[in-house]
Amino acid sequence: MQQKIIEGIINGDRRMVARAISLIEDEASEKETILSAIFPYTGKAYCLGITGAPGAGKSSLVDQLLVLLRRQGLRVGVIAVDPTSPFTGGAILGDRIRMQEHALDKAVFIRSMGTRGNLGGLSRATKDVIQILDAFGKDVVIIETVGVGQSEVDIIKYADTTVVVLTPASGDSVQTIKAGIMEIADVFVVNKADLPGADRTVSEISMMLDLGGKKRAWRPPIVRTITLDGSGVGELHRALLDHREYLTSSGRLEKAREDRVRRDIVDLIEYKVKSTIWRQVSGSAEFELLVSRIMSRETDPYAAAVQILRSINLNGLSP
């Protein structure tokens, strides 16, 4: 079966891609064999991250970008990640409906993912799905994620280019928007520019970029868009191409991807160690005894952690 899935992915079989993604979501043990086997076929896809507040217009923008990317003849994968919603079996309805016309287009693959609170986390799963879509032959993989906290900042770290979508309507002054989100932007979009206050939002972002006065090799452009009539989407597309060109010609793309490999290995080691330890410890009699002894102040968490570590067997780390 694994072999069938692996060959399916490489040969462009959508059903096998969907199967592999389900295995990743289930944290099935087969997933590692599959990811290892397809790895030689990865590294070609360009990864685009789109984040912003709920309802900022991310899906509408992706929808319109898809049209331009398809016109370039590119094959595109879209992963809509919602860290705030539980896993729903592969569908965030709104995204489904809006991107429907592309669903008929065989060169476009759209999939939604929600959180499952598992050890590997949504970030790990997203990374794995990007790999699958890469090996599947997608030229561009777009990750859409709601910008609300740390988790989606982690997700977006897999993107080569990150777009942060803001709106005038949100009433958020730019200063109040989480610093973490502002820092990851390679391109800013002020969407819903048909609504009042767009100019102010643009100038607030611009002022923020000038703060600190440090000279940037890349100053994130600020693009206004109205997805209702598509205005500004062409400009956004050009800004994305410019950023990609900047990354490629400066050698930063290669460097960033190398850094990602480093982080990825560390993450995987941590994940394996953590899950192995947790499988042995969680709910064990020793663990529970230590909890009650800590409660009665016979021992303390520091001593308990050391005691548990001594009894852990890390040989034969589980996947």
Return phi, psi of residue 220, to 5°.
-60, 125
Burial of residue 309, with CB atoms counted within 10 A of its CB: 0-12 exposed, 13-18 middle, 19 or more buried? exposed
H or E element in which residue 110 lies: strand 108-115
Q: Which amino acid is at 241?
A: L
| Nearest residue (CB) to ligand GTP, 194 versus 242 | 194
> What minimum distance in Å lies between the beta carbon of 202 and ligand GTP?
14
By residue count, the chain amounts to 319
Whether 87 and 113 have beta carbons less than 8 Å apart is answered as yes
224 interacts with ligand GTP by CB under 6 A: no
Q: How far apart, in whole angstroms, are the C-alpha atoms of residue 177 and residue 89?
A: 31
The least distance separating ligand GTP from the CB of residue 228, rounded to whole angstroms, comes to 5
We find the least distance from the C-beta atom of residue 239 to ligand GTP, in angstroms, to be 17
Q: Which of 20, 146, 181, 185 binds ligand GTP (CB under 6 A)?
A: 146
Gap between the Cα atoms of 269 and 84, Å rounded? 27
> Which residues, numbered 78-107, are part of the site for ligand GTP (CB under 6 A)?
94
* Minimum CB distance to Mg ion, residue 40 (Å): 33
Q: What is the DSSP string of 293-310?
A: HHHTTSS-HHHHHHHHHH
If one asks whether residue 161 binds ligand GTP (CB under 6 A), the answer comes out as no
| Residue type for position 154 | D
54 binds ligand GTP (CB under 6 A): yes
**Contact in structure between 58 and 147 (CB atoms under 8 Å):** no
Contact residue for ligand GTP among 58, 102, 124, 243 (CB under 6 A):
58
| Interacting residue with ligand GTP among 191, 202, 223, 233 (CB under 6 A) | 191
Distance of closest approach, residue 280 Cβ to ligand GTP, in angstroms? 39
**Closest CB to ligand GTP among 33 and 84?**
84
Q: Does residue 228 touch ligand GTP according to CB under 6 A?
A: yes
Instruction: Work out the angle between the directed axes of helices 14-25 and 30-38 (0-180°, nearest 10).
Output: 130
Residue closer to ligand GTP by CB (options 50, 174) is: 50
Closer residue to ligand GTP, CB minimum distance, 189 or 290: 189
Q: Pick what 226 binds: ligand GTP, Mg ion, none; C-beta below 5 to 8 Å, kind-dependent.
A: ligand GTP
Q: How far is the CB of 25 from ligand GTP (least distance, A)?
A: 19
Number of separate helices (H) and strands (E) present in the chain:
14, 7
Closer residue to Mg ion in complex, CB, 59/167: 59
Shortest gap between Cβ of 197 and ligand GTP (angstroms)? 12
Best CA proximity match to 183, nearest among 142, 149, 146, 220: 220
Which residues contribute to the site for Mg ion (CB under 5 A)? 58-59
25: which 2 tokens?
């979501």
CB contact at 8 A, 34 and 5: yes
Residues that bind ligand GTP (CB under 6 A): 52, 54-60, 94, 146, 191-192, 194-195, 226-228
